[in-house]
Amino acid sequence: MTFTVNGQETDAEPRPGQCLRTFLRDQGWFGVKKGCDTGDCGACTVHVDGKPVHSCLMPAVRAEGRAVTTIEGLAEGHVLHPAQQHFLDAQGFQCGFCTAGMVMTTAALDQGQRTDPDRLFKGNLCRCTGYRPIREAVRGQPVPPGPRDAPAPAGLAVVTGRARFTMDVAPAGILHLKILQSPHASARILAIDTTAAMAVPGVVAVLTHADAPARCFSTARHENPLDDVDDTRVLDDVVRFAGQRVAAVVAETEAAAEKARDLIAVDYELLPAVLDPVEALLPGAHIVHDKPLSSRIANPARNIVAELSGGTGDVEAGFAAADAVHEATYETQRVHHAQLETHGAIGWLDAEDRLTVRTSSQTPFLTRDALATLYGLPRGKVRVFCERIGGGFGGKQEMLTEDIVALAVLKTRRPVKLELTRAEQFTMTTTRHPMRITVKVGARKDGTLTAMQMHMLSNTGAYGNHGPGVLFHGSGESIALYRCPNKKVDGVAVYTNQMPSGAFRGYGLSQTNFAVESAMNALAARLGIDPYAFRRKNMVMPGDPMVSLDAGPHDVEYGSYGLDQCLDLVERAMSETPPAYAETSAAATGTGARDEMGDPADWLIGRGMAAGMIDTIPPRGHIAECWIRVSERGYELGTGTAEFGNGTSTVHAQMAADALGTTPSRIRLKQSDTDVSGHDSGAFGSTGTVVAGAATLIAAEKLAGLIRQAAADRLGIAVDAVTLGPDGATGAGRTLPLSTFAGLSADGRTRGTPRSVAFNVQAFEVAVHRRYGTIRILRSVHAADAGTVINPRQCRGQIEGGVAQALGAALWERVMIDGEGRVTNAAFRGYHIPAMGDLPVTEVHFADTYDSIGPLGAKSMSESPYNPVAAALAAAIHDATGVHLTATPFLADQLHGRLGAARSAAAISPTEETFRDVIAV
């Protein structure tokens, strides 16, 4: 059939069941993205005869004789379409994976529609930004940048669809890999018959546990592999969760691979399944992993992957000395990262027979190391690299596709691609660890804390990846935030036959922050003390030891301290008249039954807040090595850290440019490639700026010194008399062009220690509909102590995005698992991540501090804004309704059931206690 794409006549035949999205990508139009392939996310939006459609749902044959426009065809030559220009000006993206769809949708709207985009964009999901800059871009009203707001280097490539994400290449002769997933939560594989599958034309190989290395590993990636337990095989003969890999088909086409996958006959012996973490601990429970001690599983016979206990002082004495004690159990649910780009990898053998993997990973170097170990290859025989990555949030601090792609490459010696479908992403990757956390806190009448106690039960699912790390990290800063002489913390991470949990933004702290901050709010309310005052009374101050499991010694210091400022900023903002946009945000928070608020008497109004602390770097070492050199047209910077919307590329270029007296546009980044730079532990634990960036700064400062020295030598003047500028080195009235110094280079290396602490405070004002149970956020105010903010616009974006993602988890998101252990909502239409119209605009404030440890005074700020959101929201809902919510998400249907008397009562006492276990001593 013939049709036109971006003005080009095209003659090609789609397959009968092919959708337009893949057909366009077959023609090389990689700007058309796959976020969900089910019509929910809008990343594949194109215009057909001028009308916007989701190309994943349109049969390709319907394009016959029509004109299709993709993001690549929107600009007129070099002149960007206004929608593209506005997204660029507003920096209306982070990872950029959703951007093509956002721009194409914007371009299809008229001026009137653009002014009120919320409802029109419910079919365009962004997981990174929280939508504020996207809304500004759609409206054509980008906020002008400040002096430090350097734009992302890849901005132009992102808005024109030229940015290459993991799957945006088409190597010749590539094979497609499809995975057969287990329907059972717990079973032994007795036999696999691949005869029928192998007979499907185009099938090259069917891989089973017989083909996989016997070696166990962990999908989790840490600098030290011993931090995790070795409990996973590439393909196992025991399945421990519904959705686990059973076999893999490698075929010439995806269709052949799918067909063959469905013809694999597996004989399972069903084993007992333990789905509940409490039951998993009971004597006689099914043992999920019968593994030796060398696996490092703490207690396999009791399904305990890790456990901890510690504290300080005497909590019993502390509670005895308290005037009020609050104790409750808090629960956090299983939530998905829901990055718009699913996991995927493409592997091949290069000309030197090296295993090469192009992947969507936060940790290319650690994945390279893991592949080398797993397949017994020298490190030098493995190369792993990333181009642009469509979102991470911790989910890509795992090796979830590269291991099996490598196996297929090594077996077939051909290029192999595995791209997870959205349903596979929902059923065979990882989630946040669900936790059940009991917190008991006591204080004197004046608010002074006397004792804190916390017990954590973490559900690591079928595999222990990040199970120990999340348990330990979760036990830390949420408790250490408070000065209290008596503390006791213990916890276990247990196996169940559910899908695995893993690294997730906050790394355990979002769960324990919800529990501890909720308990502190309840205790403060009980004592009649304002929550801000309660924090001021009890929070750690510089000089105080930071104590949770133990009092140290450790490498965390007060490199700076801005919690006091954060509290002041939020409290003041909440007491002032909201800025103009807050009205918009209230309207944007959407509808109960009607578009307007309806009868004001139906709405119960309340406010709440919570605080959070986070170490700026993960413990136990985080390494970054980079280089920078003078090139023909500027500088080349080689760094290992990956870009997935975290914005570190911008910050690296900015830091290097500052040190070298040039502009960020002159710094060309080569990144996230094991062939390019020295070692890098990876972009996780919010380290892109404070560890990798610090290495960049060291290298750039060294190079600046070398250039100035060289210039001084040439000019015969003192080094101090030389200044660096965009065009070269100047001294004594002469400028030596940069090319003079071509070849000069310098290295930078950091080890991630010592570490500092960063702070966040979040407050909400909410309205709860007394008859419907729906929750509207009227105001969202956040203050962050990120040290000296290098790029305020970008840092604000990280905070807005973190709050947005946390609101999704606090209000709606939940992985539903049925009685058989199967995920029942494996699509965005059943797993609701926030759309533009779901979210308020969050007002962001920064503390004014300078960190003595971080580069240029900066501290990390990408995970931590997520952490205090759920507790602040619960406090606001309690203030409005008198209902204490102790389990996320706070769904309208469940809140409605708890409203009870509030449904009809005209006034609620905000201090009315509904806890069964609040004790007044």
Partner 1 sequence: MDLNTVEELDRPKGGAAVAARAGRLNDSEAWLAGGTWLFSEPQPRVSKLVDITGAGWAPLTINTCGLEIAATCTVAELDALRTPEDWRAAHLIGACSRAFLASFKIWNVATVGGNLCMGLPAGPMISLTASLDGACRIFGRDGSEWEVPALDFVVGPQQTVLRPGELLRSIRIPVDRLRRPAAFRRIALSPMGRTGALVIGTLAPSGGIDITITGATPRPVRIAFHTVPDATSAARAVDAAIPVGGWYDDVHGSPEWRRAMVKEFAGEISEELGAAARMRQ
**Least CB distance from residue 748 to partner 1, whole Å?**
45
**E strands, 324-467, where?**
324-332, 344-349, 355-359, 382-385, 416-419, 435-443, 449-461
**Least CB distance from residue 194 to partner 1, whole Å?**
19
The strand pairing partners of 388, in sequence order, are 165
Cα separation, 137 vs 432, in Å, equals: 32
**Least CB distance from residue 911 to partner 1, whole Å?**
27
**Least CB distance from residue 332 to partner 1, whole Å?**
18
Cα separation, 556 vs 232, in Å, equals: 33
8 Å CB contact between 214 and 292: no
**E strands, 594-715, where?**
603-615, 624-630, 635-639, 667-671
Q: With respect to partner 1, which residue has the nearer C-beta, 584 or 591?
A: 591
Q: With respect to partner 1, which residue has the nearer C-beta, 14 or 318?
A: 14
Q: With respect to partner 1, which residue has the nearer C-beta, 66 or 302?
A: 66
Q: With respect to partner 1, which residue has the nearer C-beta, 92 or 685?
A: 92
**Least CB distance from residue 131 to partner 1, whole Å?**
11
- For 719, other C-beta atoms within 10 Å of its C-beta total 13
Cα separation, 243 vs 823, in Å, equals: 8
**Phi-psi group of 152: left, alpha or beta (phi > 0 → left; psi -120 to 50 → alpha; rest → beta):** beta
**Least CB distance from residue 830 to partner 1, whole Å?**
5
Cα separation, 485 vs 697, in Å, equals: 40
**Least CB distance from residue 183 to partner 1, whole Å?**
14
Cα separation, 643 vs 683, in Å, equals: 8
Residue 254 CB partners (closer than 8 Å, separation 6+): 176, 178
Count CA atoms within 13 Å of residue 110 on its CB side: 1
**Least CB distance from residue 134 to partner 1, whole Å?**
14
Q: With respect to partner 1, which residue has the nearer C-beta, 330 or 772?
A: 772
Q: With respect to partner 1, which residue has the nearer C-beta, 421 or 565?
A: 421
Cα separation, 112 vs 90, in Å, equals: 19
**Least CB distance from residue 237 to partner 1, whole Å?**
26
Strands 355-359 and 382-385 turn out to be parallel
Q: How many residues does the chain have?
A: 921
Going from the C-alpha of 168 to that of each of 174, 495, 648, the distances in angstroms are: 13, 37, 22
Q: Which residues bind partner 1 (CB under 8 A)?
A: 15-19, 21-22, 37-40, 42, 45, 51-54, 56-59, 61-62, 105, 108, 118-124, 254-255, 258-259, 262, 421, 589-594, 771-774, 811-812, 814, 816, 824-825, 829-830, 832, 834-838, 891-894, 896-897
Q: With respect to partner 1, which residue has the nearer C-beta, 329 or 825?
A: 825
8 Å CB contact between 92 and 54: no
Does residue 642 sit in helix, strand or coil?
coil
Cα separation, 770 vs 146, in Å, equals: 43
Q: With respect to partner 1, which residue has the nearer C-beta, 373 or 591?
A: 591
Q: With respect to partner 1, which residue has the nearer C-beta, 47 or 708?
A: 47
Q: With respect to partner 1, which residue has the nearer C-beta, 67 or 156?
A: 67
Token reading at 188:
């032994």
Buried b (16+ CB within 10 A) or exposed e, 117-150: bbebbebbbbbbbbbbbbbbbbbbebeeeeeebb
**Least CB distance from residue 838 to partner 1, whole Å?**
5
**Phi-psi group of 434: left, alpha or beta (phi > 0 → left; psi -120 to 50 → alpha; rest → beta):** beta
Q: With respect to partner 1, which residue has the nearer C-beta, 52 or 865?
A: 52
Q: With respect to partner 1, which residue has the nearer C-beta, 438 or 591?
A: 591
Q: With respect to partner 1, which residue has the nearer C-beta, 57 or 198?
A: 57
Q: With respect to partner 1, which residue has the nearer C-beta, 262 or 350?
A: 262
Q: With respect to partner 1, which residue has the nearer C-beta, 421 or 649?
A: 421
**Least CB distance from residue 62 to partner 1, whole Å?**
8
For residue 82, whether the previous peptide bond is cis, meaning omega lies within 30 degrees of 0, is: no
Token reading at 238:
């025991």
**Least CB distance from residue 592 to partner 1, whole Å?**
6
Token reading at 445:
């009448």
Cα separation, 27 vs 248, in Å, equals: 27
**Least CB distance from residue 24 to partner 1, whole Å?**
12
Q: With respect to partner 1, which residue has the nearer C-beta, 37 or 223?
A: 37
8 Å CB contact between 624 and 695: yes
**Least CB distance from residue 812 to partner 1, whole Å?**
5
**Least CB distance from residue 321 to partner 1, whole Å?**
43
Going from the C-alpha of 710 to that of each of 469, 662, 696, 705, 730, the distances in angstroms are: 47, 17, 21, 9, 11
Q: Which residue has the tokens 């080890």?
A: 751
Cα separation, 611 vs 478, in Å, equals: 9
Q: With respect to partner 1, which residue has the nearer C-beta, 44 or 699?
A: 44
Q: With respect to partner 1, which residue has the nearer C-beta, 73 or 394?
A: 73
**Least CB distance from residue 492 to partner 1, whole Å?**
30
**Least CB distance from residue 406 to partner 1, whole Å?**
25
Q: Is 718 exposed, middle or buried (0-12, 13-18, 19+ CB in 10 A)?
A: exposed
Token reading at 567:
């509290």
Q: Where are the alpha helices (DSSP H) in 843-919?
A: 869-881, 892-899
Count CA atoms within 13 Å of residue 548 on its CB side: 25
Cα separation, 660 vs 576, in Å, equals: 43
**Least CB distance from residue 896 to partner 1, whole Å?**
5
